[in-house]
Amino acid sequence: MPMQNVLTWMIFAPVAGAAVVLLLPRGRDELVRWISLLATAVPLALAFWVYANFDRTSPGLQFVEHYAWIPAFNIEYFLGLDGVSAPMFLLTTLIAFLALVASWGIKEGVKGYFCLYLLLEAGMLGVFAALDFFLFFIFWEVSLLPMYFLIGIWGGPEREYAAIKFFLYTLFGSVLILLAMLALYFANEPHTFDMTKLIAANKQYGIAFQLLVFIALYIGFAIKVPVFPFHTWLPDAHVEAPTPISVILAGILLKMGPYGMLRVSWPMLPEALKVYAYPLAIFALINIVYGALVAMAQRDFKTLVAYSSISHMGFVLLGMCAIGPQGLSQAGVNGAILQMFNHGTVTAMLFLLVGVLYDRAHHRVIEDFGGLGVQMPVYAGVATVAFFAALGLPGLSSFISEALVLIGAFPAYRTLTIIAAVGIIITAGYWLWTLQRVFLGPLNPKYATLPEINGRELVTLVPLGALVLFLGVYPMPVLDLIRASADQLIALVGPLP
């Protein structure tokens, strides 16, 4: 396998798997599962190779692939990784693999499910690797459709509503991204979708143009994050989606929003960023506090995790727009990217844990549980790690990224940062309260026979848990990837005028 095309191999291995699955005759469900597992294992294996060979000192693009695709429009097949995209790209392969293992329990429409699942993985990997704006957009849309079907066909009772809501929201965002993309395309001479060229030309865009395009892009990406007030699709989608799809949605798909901002809006439209930074920080803060408060009020375990995601994504946004007189804060940007990664692992664990419980008890009402710590000690142990990671306990991964974000944001927005820190306390509050309600207290006799977490479920949870513990003590393996490119991004945006 020629390694100069490693990214293409990683993106299209799932597509090939999907094609094979589609061609298999009906009724070979077990074979479908194993082929799909193989198709997600290939990118994961290659991800290790990419991780090992990633040049941590270089801020530039690596593993670049550059071919003409539609010459009439100067559209290229242009892939590459840098420190901004690499953590999410690599995490995608891991989460997709683990969520596939978690999909083993899908019994109906197995072929269709795994086929769409693999296409979804290809779309997500493509988004993180694409460096041509048009190609980015194509992958962005390609990841949208399988998600729509996966929620709409394999989801809960209200699946249709949730799926169409998800679709229309995201589509509205796509529309704005498309318009912004065309505007940037025609603002350059010769017209190009090449992101590196669009970034290099960022000085020549007029301020009015920047302000307008920035808003279009921001709303487009913010819907995906989701930023308050565009968030209402998320709880519906999460509650209805099957567990593995929730994992993918929260673990990877939401990160496409902030990733898009860092990849497109920030470097291409730096002047607009400087104008909007403060309002953006306020939105980030609303996300943190509002998400936490609403999470606290939830009775449904899964909705709670969904709202906690909104809250945690607020930290990503806050770190990203922490801009002082010297420009973007180094700690803020590094923290934001690290938080994207860490939230991916933690929230994936949380959704998997909810899924484990739901598979056994067939409901998710928090108050109904209680005392499960005795009944399912291993499960309770893993869940405790995840809960503590989510509330930002020192020694676990999220603490470091959230601390970096707060450190970065403090010089820029003192009041906002202090309020955000209060948000952490609310977060701690509802996680501890949930922990207490589910695992402590008297055991509900209804659940005296609940079986302990099984081996397959542990396979999905343990790697993530290990990652959470390890990165909590020593975050450098990921931070190393980010640092050089983050510095470059900060230099591109430049200081405040």
Where on the chain is the footprint of another protein (CB under 8 A)? Answer: 69-73, 112, 137-138, 141-142, 144-145, 148-149, 152-153, 159-160, 163-164, 167-168, 171-172, 175, 178-179, 182-183, 185-186
Phi first, then psi, for residue 84 (nearest 5°) are -75, -40
Q: Alpha-carbon distance 266 to 268, whole Å?
A: 6
In one-letter notation, the amino acid at residue 231 is H
Q: Residue 397 is encoded by which pair of tokens?
A: 């991964």
Is there a cis peptide before residue 25, judged by omega within 30 degrees of 0?
A: no
Query: With respect to another protein, which residue has the nearer C-beta, 153 or 275?
Result: 153
Q: Alpha-carbon distance 344 to 95, whole Å?
A: 8
Q: Alpha-carbon distance 267 to 91, whole Å?
A: 23
CA R_g for the chain: 22
Nearest-approach distance from CB 107 to another protein, in angstroms: 15
Nearest-approach distance from CB 133 to another protein, in angstroms: 12
Nearest-approach distance from CB 332 to another protein, in angstroms: 34
Alpha helices in 130-158 (DSSP H): 133-154
Nearest-approach distance from CB 270 to another protein, in angstroms: 23
Nearest-approach distance from CB 126 to another protein, in angstroms: 11
Q: Alpha-carbon distance 338 to 407, whole Å?
A: 14
Query: With respect to another protein, which residue has the nearer C-beta, 174 or 342?
Result: 174
In one-letter notation, the amino acid at residue 147 is M
How many CB atoms lie under 10 A from the CB of residue 414?
10
Query: With respect to another protein, which residue has the nearer C-beta, 37 or 164?
Result: 164
Q: Alpha-carbon distance 402 to 408, whole Å?
A: 10
In sequence order, what are the beta bridge partners of 81?
62
Nearest-approach distance from CB 153 to another protein, in angstroms: 5
Crossing angle of helices 330-361 and 397-412, in 10° steps, is: 140
Query: With respect to another protein, which residue has the nearer C-beta, 138 or 419?
Result: 138
Query: With respect to another protein, which residue has the nearer C-beta, 171 or 432?
Result: 171
Whole-Å CA distances, 366 to 18, 303, 346: 37, 11, 19
Q: Residue 101 is encoded by which pair of tokens?
A: 């293992």
Nearest-approach distance from CB 346 to another protein, in angstroms: 32
Query: With respect to another protein, which residue has the nearer C-beta, 71 or 497?
Result: 71
Residue 229's contacts (CB-CB under 8 Å, 6 or more residues apart) are none
Q: Residue 462 is encoded by which pair of tokens?
A: 């343990």
Query: With respect to another protein, which residue has the nearer C-beta, 153 or 428?
Result: 153
Nearest-approach distance from CB 185 to another protein, in angstroms: 7
Query: With respect to another protein, which residue has the nearer C-beta, 184 or 383?
Result: 184
Query: With respect to another protein, which residue has the nearer C-beta, 157 or 455?
Result: 157
If you count them, how many residues does the chain have? 497
- Nearest Cα to Cα of residue 39 among 8, 6, 10: 10
Whole-Å CA distances, 452 to 222, 420, 436, 464, 497: 39, 37, 19, 19, 59
**Neighbour-count burial for 430-443, b at 16+ CB within 10 Å, e otherwise:** bbeebbebbbeeeb
Nearest-approach distance from CB 216 to another protein, in angstroms: 10
- Provide the pairing of β-strand 327-328 with 323-324: antiparallel
Nearest-approach distance from CB 183 to another protein, in angstroms: 7
Nearest-approach distance from CB 175 to another protein, in angstroms: 5
Query: With respect to another protein, which residue has the nearer C-beta, 148 or 283?
Result: 148
Query: With respect to another protein, which residue has the nearer C-beta, 121 or 457?
Result: 121
- Nearest Cα to Cα of residue 95 among 478, 461, 482: 461
